[in-house]
């Protein structure tokens, strides 16, 4: 290794406790997103609770224990914000300890660079430094470089287990761009359990599989249905598929190992599987490590609808919580309780539709069972307080285990008819009556 880089590394090397001492009362502290969220640093910062007040912490999909919340239930010393709820974040949803930041994820780098998001300190987990003096952001290139450009102090938490994810763009930073470095003692790496699709997931996935063909470029969201699609594709006769996605998941590994993904027909980034962050099993992290067939990119590239629409035959597959008869899709809250976020879903819904031959699918089981009470996920109107993740003007195709409802270009009674057709039969008559009251039903409308 270049001795100059190593000397600079040593001059910036501190302990986690020393790094945490840089935080002052009133500071805004940004943590890296997903599995790059600060872990040892947050534990060290929590020890300073009695010295600090009103420290504001932000992250996205924080998968590690939030030590600063656990030591301060009153939120007088530390308060969190999240760009997207998941994992540990959900423990504190709808409390005074953690607040949600509404946004389209593609805009996060731009919002950061426009200084609408202040950051006094930025802390992110990275790989160890390479021989050229570079640290790799590993499984999360979302907006790290943008925060580095605007934060007053930049701190790297070195994790030896972090996969080295090749770019792409904005996937790494040089030792000269870092203020302080400390080496993780825990070297933990958050992993997701492998998702096993159920019968409903597989039925929904089967409808989508029928509409796929050789050369499609696939984006998969989180959940059982996207995972089921991946497994079915791996067992199908499809070939020469491409990947351009927000999140890289285990389903892509299944498709790769089955020889289904080549990227040979992509209009841009040909032969490359493009993504912005990865979360999954340890086997998936091993797969993406130093893999030249993949390209890690910032979220303002992967999720930009203008980029997505350039890729022919783009297929976007995402999940929803509920949908109403107007075609308004809620994918992030249960009533007023935030459970995830808009993330990149709307970006991909828009981009996929504008792609030549593109298709956008939003999937959900027709019903939900809560404490023995079964209710429909397709509703006359969204649950009061539910967030509209995808406005009705952008909804393309909605899928349940009863089929596909086409919404784009449909008037209100056509939308109601198409959606009731894929609702569970036990709830269809009730929804017809509600649609009549809402004046979005015609006497000629028929349900098959």
Torsion of CA 358, 394, 416, 324, to 10 degrees: 120
pLDDT of residue 193: 81
User: Of the candidates 216, 209, 211, which has an alpha carbon nearest to the alpha carbon of residue 235?
Assistant: 209
The SS3 call for residue 334 is strand
Cα angle vertex 17, ends 12, 18, to 5°? 35
| CA terminus-to-terminus distance, the chain | 69
CA atoms within 13 A on the CB side of 36: 31
pLDDT of residue 231: 87
pLDDT of residue 216: 98
User: Of the candidates 304, 310, 170, 291, which has an alpha carbon nearest to the alpha carbon of residue 246?
Assistant: 304
pLDDT of residue 158: 98
Tell me, yes or no, if 246 is annotated catalytic.
yes
Q: What is the DSSP string of 118-151?
A: --SEEEEEEPPP-TTSEEE-TTB-SSHHHHHHH-
**Phi and psi of 325, rounded to 5°?**
-70, -10
Residues of the chain with CATH 3.40.1080.10: 3-183
Tokens, residue 56: 């504001």
Q: Is residue 254 a contact partner of residue 231, using CB atoms and an 8 Å limit? A: yes
Instruction: Name every residue whose Cβ is closer than 8 Å to that of residue 77 and which is 6 or more positions away in sequence.
Output: 49, 50, 52, 53, 54, 55, 68, 71
Reply yes or no on domain 3-183 having CATH 3.40.50.720. no
pLDDT of residue 447: 67
Could you tell me where the beta strands, DSSP code E, fall in 105-236? 121-126, 134-136, 153-158, 172-174, 180-183, 217-220
Tokens, residue 330: 């809620």
Tokens, residue 318: 């995402």
* CA gap 103, 111 in Å, rounded: 10
* CA gap 162, 138 in Å, rounded: 6
Torsion of CA 119, 124, 129, 133, to 10 degrees: -20
pLDDT in 10s for each residue of the chain, 448 residues: 678 999 999 999 999 999 999 999 999 999 999 999 999 999 999 999 999 999 999 999 889 999 999 999 999 999 999 999 987 888 887 788 999 999 999 999 999 998 778 899 999 999 999 999 999 999 999 999 999 999 999 999 999 999 999 999 999 999 999 999 999 998 889 888 877 889 999 999 999 999 999 999 999 987 788 888 988 999 999 999 999 999 999 999 999 999 999 999 999 999 999 999 999 999 999 999 999 999 999 999 999 999 999 999 999 999 999 999 999 999 999 999 999 999 999 999 999 999 999 999 999 999 999 899 999 999 999 999 999 999 999 999 999 999 999 999 999 999 999 999 999 999 999 999 999 999 999 977 666 6
* CA gap 118, 224 in Å, rounded: 37
Residues of the chain with CATH 3.40.1080.20: 199-437
Tokens, residue 169: 């763009």
pLDDT of residue 430: 96
Pairing of strands 55-59, 78-82: parallel
Instruction: Name every residue whose Cβ is closer than 8 Å to that of residue 117 and which is 6 or more positions away in sequence.
Output: 30, 58, 111, 150
* CA gap 75, 92 in Å, rounded: 11
Pairing of strands 247-248, 98-100: unpaired
pLDDT of residue 305: 97
Which residue among 30, 43, 171, 246 is the active-site one? 246
User: Of the candidates 62, 46, 45, which has an alpha carbon nearest to the alpha carbon of residue 190?
Assistant: 62
- Which CATH topology does 199-437 take? Glutaconate Coenzyme A-transferase (3.40.1080)
């Amino acid at each position: 290794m270049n001795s100059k880089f190593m000397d600079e590394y040593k001059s910036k090397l501190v302990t986690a406790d020393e790094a945490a001492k840089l935080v002052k009362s009133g500071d805004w502290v940004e943590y890296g997103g997903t599995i790059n969220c600060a872990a040892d640093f947050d534990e060290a910062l929590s020890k300073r609770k009695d010295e600090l007040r009103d420290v504001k912490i932000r992250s996205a999909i924080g998968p590690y224990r939030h030590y600063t919340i656990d030591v301060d239930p009153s939120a007088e010393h530390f308060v969190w914000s999240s760009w997207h709820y998941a994992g540990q974040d959900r423990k504190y949803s709808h409390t005074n300890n953690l607040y949600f930041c509404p946004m389209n994820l593609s805009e996060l780098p731009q919002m950061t660079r426009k200084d609408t998001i202040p950051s006094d300190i930025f802390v992110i987990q990275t790989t160890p430094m390479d021989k050229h003096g570079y640290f790799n952001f590993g499984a999360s290139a979302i907006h790290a470089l943008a925060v580095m450009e605007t934060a007053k102090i930049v701190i790297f938490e070195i994790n030896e287990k972090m996969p080295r994810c090749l770019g792409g763009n904005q996937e790494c930073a040089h030792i000269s761009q870092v203020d302080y470095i400390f080496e993780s003692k825990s070297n933990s790496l958050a992993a997701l359990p492998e998702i096993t699709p159920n019968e409903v997931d597989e039925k929904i996935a089967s409808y989508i599989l029928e509409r796929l063909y050789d050369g499609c470029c696939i984006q998969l969201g989180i959940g059982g249905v996207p995972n089921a699609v991946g497994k079915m594709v791996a067992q199908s006769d499809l070939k020469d598929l491409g990947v351009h996605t927000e999140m890289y998941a285990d389903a892509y590994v299944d498709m790769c190992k089955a020889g289904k993904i080549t990227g040979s027909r992509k209009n841009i980034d040909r032969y490359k599987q493009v993504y912005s962050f990865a979360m999954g099993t340890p086997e998936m992290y091993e797969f993406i490590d130093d893999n030249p067939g993949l390209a890690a990119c910032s979220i303002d590239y992967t999720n930009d609808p203008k980029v997505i629409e350039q890729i022919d035959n783009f297929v976007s597959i995402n999940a929803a919580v509920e949908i109403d008869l107007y075609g308004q899709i809620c994918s992030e809250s249960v009533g007023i309780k935030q459970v995830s976020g808009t993330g990149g879903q709307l970006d991909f819904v828009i981009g996929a539709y504008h792609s030549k031959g593109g298709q956008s699918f939003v999937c959900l089981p027709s019903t939900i069972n809560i404490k023995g009470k079964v209710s429909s996920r397709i509703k006359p109107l969204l649950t009061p307080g539910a967030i509209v993740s995808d406005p009705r003007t952008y909804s393309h195709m909605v899928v349940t285990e009863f089929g596909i409802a086409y919404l784009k270009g449909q008037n209100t009674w056509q939308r109601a008819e198409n959606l009731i057709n894929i609702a569970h039969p036990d709830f269809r008559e009730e929804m017809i009556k509600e649609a009549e009251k809402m004046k979005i039903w015609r006497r000629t409308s028929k349900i098959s």
